[in-house]
Amino acid sequence: MNAKRIIPCLDIKDGRVVKGVNFVGMRDAGDPLEAAAAYSKAGADEIAFLDITASNQGRSTVVELAAQVAKQLTIPFTVGGGICSVEDFRRILSSGADKASINTAAIDSPELISEAAAEFGSQRVVVAIDAGSRRDGSGWDVYKSGGQVNTGLDVLEWATRVEELGAGEILLTSLDRDGTKEGYDIELTAAVAQKVGIPVIASGGAGNMQHFADAIIKGKADAVLAASLFHFHEVDIRQLKEFLTAQGISVR
Q: Which residues pair with 188 in a beta bridge?
A: none
Could you confirm whether 130 is annotated as catalytic? yes
State how far the Cα of 235 lies from the Cα of 159, in Å rounded to an integer: 30
3-state secondary structure of 103: coil
Which position among 11, 98, 141, 178 bears the catalytic label?
11
Establish whether 51 is a catalytic residue. Answer: no
Catalytic residue among 45, 88, 98, 130: 130
CA distances (Å), 188 to each of 15, 99, 218, 229, in order? 32, 24, 11, 21
Q: Quickly list H helices, the chain.
A: 32-42, 63-70, 86-94, 104-108, 111-120, 155-165, 186-195, 209-217, 228-231, 237-246
Cα 226 vs. chain centroid, distance in angstroms?
9
**Which residues are catalytic, by number?**
11, 130
